[in-house]
Structure 1
């Protein structure tokens, strides 16, 4: 739609210029290092994680700080700023020494240095009565915070999918991407709202989307209501049990520079307000305190999902089976529309939790049922994957604290008889040293459709390994993070036609001087066995591959209004067959936030040169509020972006973004309908956020 930018301008001027509440500042709840590392280890180039809830939650705690003397373990986890070792040490200190008199008293607790304390102080307090369990729903609705967020984005270059709109192989919609969200929150107690999104190339108020947007989502979520009702979710929500062996939805990190962050800590139920069209449940869920020590969580979900259909049963003209789910959420072409909502997935879950002080034990069960059978295209590597119409998983998870020790784990069973387990240990060896140990064993025939457990691969199957992590704080401002992971895959994997092994290690040295300067240098190496393509034998053989990356980073807060960030990476990839492939990248970020002036901006200029995609580098990019992007930098070229943010009043934020990548060694970008004839790809984005 050519008039979309004009529509956004009209929306700006139509909004009131004053609000009842102050808007939250820009927050970064998930460390950028974790985001980069997670995507780098998963091999994903892009993703849509539901970070909006964490942004809003931190904004809540900033206005109404968490009482560190009265909160429990679940509250500290929900804050999302402390790792498990810090939480364990804090609770142990509070048990022995009693309530903290001031937040800076945290310095005497192992794992809390002055730089970290300064970062978390805005969200914590040592006093005040935060008990508002008696507030009614009507009071929470009337005294809550409303947020309207509207976003527009498009690629400026002409792509193949829009070149011939009359063709059946082209995109059926325009190249504009639209996002609208309204959300009402009352601190972390109540949340409800509506989200709508249209992807680039999807029809809008025409064709298969005469109702407007391609994706709609709505939720109602109540938390800690009247003490007994822990959570109530209606509409779209996320659910997670245990350590993720049978169910974990939402954002979760894998191996990262935070070497002791290995434990899953999500609440059983959480509200969902993202535009991701795959990773959510739709129905109802409830968590209820049966007594002081027992809590039960139950949910039911029924939703339509996109799937690759296998054929049509001529007797009842119904799709007989499907070969896989399609999680991209795109409905731009006739073929993609045919696969839309082709499979109904029903899910139900039940979790019984016992907790007594430092001990917690849970019994969990999840049942999946499809309206037609999942029938995979037979390949040697997927021989033990789930196929059929129904699947039942059960598990037992636990967590226990003894002094400076925290043991945790989960053992799960799938209804084909396979048993998977993961067990971990977090320990404070010294006030300056923390350690983590994780053992996992996921058999090749273990089946769990909602698994996202800690490990090298997704799905919680076909893997056995041991992870060892260490964090050392030798002196003020200095931190050493290191881990070593060794694993094996007892069965074949995609493009790995034999059982294989791998190892990975990482060492990072970080120096931070108050909040003015932060620098680190990191060395990482990953060894894997993969197919040796191009060999002269009639079958694939495995070859050991090695990826080595050296990273350096320094940020300097020149003044209250100016911050400079510089980064340089170098690496190589080697498979022992072809020539070794090298790559490097250099980045410069400039962040300007004038004090007392409504206009701020940040910009980046990057140069990169890699021999292939194998030596790619992932970098977190500052983006529009409540969004982020982590594109891979590879081949030879440059990238630049500029973000502008204008806040005429505290309630209104107007943003614009320009981003362009130039590849000097390419004449085409992308493939298929995403193909661009030329060396550049340019994206424009705009967003309005209004709080009242």
Structure 2
């Protein structure tokens, strides 16, 4: 089955381009989804791409990117995808193929478009039953405008959660410029930061399992999600490379929602509905300044990050100064990587990854003690990241993905974790086997088994999945999953996807889900596909059904319009209904 994993995002046949699985409750990383959608619409030309462009492609490591650049300089460029494919392992090429294009060097490119690329997203949400304490309108409204024009890009965000009074409860904007003088990137306004293995500074992202270890894009980027407490606000810049050095500097002065008296913690949900929520809105002002430096060469990359943060209420509440060193050292088909940090205590995420023509393997160790304090981090972890800034997770993750036979992929992973709750130690482990097999053209079959244990609780999950796309313009995907918790509770889930593509400009996708689950500590995961960053990942428990309908229409070469409707019912009660509208002005 032709799938690539990036935070378990799967390219699964034309039905829906993406799939993402996480293991803790919350929303998926919208920024990663945005990046993948952009790559599909505007594939990277490997003959002209910078190293930064190449590293934005999932599974492309620094070693592979350097090899691509050296090869094209030696050859004078690639003539076709076949000449490019011979450079990298087959198992990786199969996963990045949708995101790359090869334009022969002798082809004269067209003049750049005089019109900007524009992406507009509007989401309307209504949740039932309504909270009687909510003083405002029951509708949730979320808008985003992304503009890309040459070396400049910008983003405007507006958010109103269900029940809030103000239709502009959250408003954010930012502007990014590339290649300004000796600066490679400059962002003014709202922005995000991702450095190293995300142990000190990172935008929120959930744990991923079931795939080779991957990290998101790194560096400075525009803030494009509607979370009200996960941004930086001010200015950030990255200098052009001076010899072996890359330098990034940043300053932020933001007002955040917070609770607590002596021990301040952020409230990431930021639903300003009841008077209790209104009392904490923008309660704390946070000032951050710091920088990151990378030193890269033939031996790999070594970096360092430092910042100082002060949180103020009526007076200073706390201050802290995390610092870290990260590294990535390639050696043939093996790369050693990691980050070691200090903030009131030491923490580390380190590992080794290996890539071959028919396999990918990883071992990742994490040491994140409860005494380590890093509110703006988001490293690979099994534990839910606390808004107190405490990570509380120690473990080892191993994963092997390989092709034992033609048209067959086998993934095996295991994770062992330890933590402390109320000064009492906890322990758990998880194992999973995933087998994907292409039976014949247009028919693919997948099965998986997962076992997870935490303390004295455990659960088993078994899944069977089938993809049928014998006819070019229509496809069908079916999945059934069974689970058992502690030999006493059980759950079942069944869903079907139908894809109809009657015209090159029109596609219709429908999904119906039926779930019946008594599970308490463990939950089913159900994946949003096609524009999943708009709605977020869904975790299923209880008894009910869900429906999704997505219609995408491209009336002109430069314009795409899509509408998505979602509703959830549990027993006889409708829990939520949601409509997403997306308008994209595509680059010429």
Please indicate the TM-score interval, normalised by the length of the shorter structure.
Answer: 0.7 to 0.9
Shift of 1:449: 1.5
The 3 A distance-change label for structure 1 pair 641 and 53 is closer
Which of these residues, 261, 278, 290, is aligned with residue 213 of structure 2?
261
Residues 79-98 of structure 1, C-alpha deviations (whole Å, 9 max, x = no match): 3x3354xx645645775795
Partner of residue 14, structure 2: none
Would you say the 8 A contact 1:103–1:121 is kept in 2? no
Residues 544-568 of structure 1, C-alpha deviations (whole Å, 9 max, x = no match): 2212111222222232221111011
Which of these residues, 659, 669, 691, is aligned with residue 566 of structure 2?
659
Which of these residues, 48, 55, 65, is aligned with residue 77 of structure 1?
55
Partner of residue 384, structure 1: none
Would you say the 8 A contact 1:367–1:390 is kept in 2? yes
- Asked if 1:223 is matched to 2:223, the reply is no
Which of these residues, 158, 165, 186, is aligned with residue 149 of structure 2?
186
Shift of 1:525: 1.3
- Asked if 1:305 is matched to 2:256, the reply is yes
The 3 A distance-change label for structure 1 pair 238 and 551 is same
SS at match of 2:168: coil
Structure with more of its chain in helix, by fraction: 1
Mark the runs of 5 or more structure 1 residues left unpaired by the alignment.
1-27, 133-138, 162-169, 204-208, 311-320, 376-387, 530-543, 665-677
Which of these residues, 275, 278, 284, is aligned with residue 343 of structure 1?
284
- Asked if 1:683 is matched to 2:577, the reply is yes
CA distance in 1, matches of 2:55, 2:474: 32
CA distance in 2, matches of 1:545, 1:106: 49
Residues 297-316 of structure 1, C-alpha deviations (whole Å, 9 max, x = no match): 00011110111254xxxxxx
Residues 114-145 of structure 1, C-alpha deviations (whole Å, 9 max, x = no match): 9826x62563215349999xxxxxx9995432
The 3 A distance-change label for structure 1 pair 30 and 193 is same
Would you say the 8 A contact 1:451–1:460 is kept in 2? no
- Asked if 1:235 is matched to 2:189, the reply is yes
Partner of residue 533, structure 1: none
- Asked if 1:591 is matched to 2:504, the reply is no
Which of these residues, 191, 198, 222, is aligned with residue 271 of structure 1?
222
The 3 A distance-change label for structure 1 pair 546 and 29 is closer
Partner of residue 313, structure 1: none
Partner of residue 97, structure 2: 120
Partner of residue 532, structure 1: none
Flag the structure with larger Rg.
Answer: 1
Residues 53-94 of structure 1, C-alpha deviations (whole Å, 9 max, x = no match): 4156315633xx322x55454322213x3354xx64564577
Which of these residues, 325, 328, 351, is aligned with residue 399 of structure 1?
328
SS at match of 1:613: coil
Q: How does 1:69-468 map to 2 (within 5 A)?
A: 69=47, 71=49, 73-79=51-57, 81-84=58-61, 88-89=63-64, 91-92=66-67, 99=75, 100-109=78-87, 111-113=89-91, 116=94, 120-121=97-98, 123-125=100-102, 127-128=104-105, 142-155=114-127, 157-161=128-132, 170-186=133-149, 189-203=151-165, 209=166, 212-225=167-180, 228-251=182-205, 254-258=207-211, 260-262=212-214, 264-289=215-240, 291-310=242-261, 321=262, 323-372=264-313, 389-414=318-343, 416=344, 418-428=345-355, 430-457=356-383, 458=385, 461-468=391-398
Residues 531-584 of structure 1, C-alpha deviations (whole Å, 9 max, x = no match): xxxxxxxxxxxxx2212111222222232221111011111111xxxx521111
CA distance in 2, matches of 1:58, 1:144: 17
Shift of 1:514: 8.9
Question: TM-score, normalised on structure 2?
Answer: 0.86
Question: TM-score, normalised on structure 1?
Answer: 0.74
CA distance in 1, matches of 2:115, 2:552: 28
CA distance in 1, matches of 2:139, 2:264: 31
SS at match of 2:413: strand
How many residues get paired?
568
Residues 345-386 of structure 1, C-alpha deviations (whole Å, 9 max, x = no match): 1111211111113411111102111113999xxxxxxxxxxx
Residues 259-285 of structure 1, C-alpha deviations (whole Å, 9 max, x = no match): x224x3522101112222121111100
The 3 A distance-change label for structure 1 pair 507 and 37 is farther
Would you say the 8 A contact 2:258–2:282 is kept in 1? yes
CA distance in 2, matches of 1:114, 1:286: 32
Mark the runs of 5 or more structure 2 residues left unpaired by the alignment.
12-17
SS at match of 1:57: helix
Which of these residues, 454, 463, 470, is aligned with residue 551 of structure 1?
463
Structure with more of its chain in strand, by fraction: 2
CA distance in 2, matches of 1:466, 1:684: 39
Residues 239-293 of structure 1, C-alpha deviations (whole Å, 9 max, x = no match): 1121111111154x534221x224x352210111222212111110011035131
CA distance in 2, matches of 1:352, 1:564: 49
Q: CA RMSD in A?
A: 3.4
- Asked if 1:562 is matched to 2:482, the reply is no
Which of these residues, 621, 627, 630, is aligned with residue 537 of structure 2?
630
Shift of 1:37: 6.3
The 3 A distance-change label for structure 1 pair 366 and 601 is same
CA distance in 1, matches of 2:216, 2:414: 22
Shift of 1:597: 5.7
Partner of residue 23, structure 1: none
